[in-house]
Amino acid sequence: MLIVIILAVLLIFHAMGTSPGAAGDKKATRFKVGDHVRVKWRGQEGVIIDASNGFYMVSMSGGRTVESYTASDLEKTW
């Protein structure tokens, strides 16, 4: 029975787009995989291909270059 309750809670958090550990976190994820972004200080544009631990992997130049950036380095383009 406890397992059913835990699974139900996890499904609710998943539906809300968050995790139980991040429920009290005031910062929302600014970017998600597939977002088109620009590196503020370089002017290069790319697509986010992975997000982990506050870093975003951005594929640039048609996939020839992949680099990691923090959210403060990026801005959405379209």
pLDDT in tens, 21-43: 444 444 556 889 999 999 998 88
Backbone angles phi, psi at 6, to 5 degrees: -60, -45
pLDDT at 7: 58
26 token code pair: 């005031």
Domains, the chain, ranges and CATH?
A: 1-27 (no CATH), 31-78 (2.30.30.30)
pLDDT at 39: 92
pLDDT at 9: 64
Q: Which residue has the higher pLDDT, 64 or 21?
A: 64
* Cα 8 to Cα 45: distance, rounded to the nearest angstrom: 40
* Cα 5 to Cα 32: distance, rounded to the nearest angstrom: 29
Q: What amino acid occupies position 43?
A: G
36: helix, strand or coil: strand
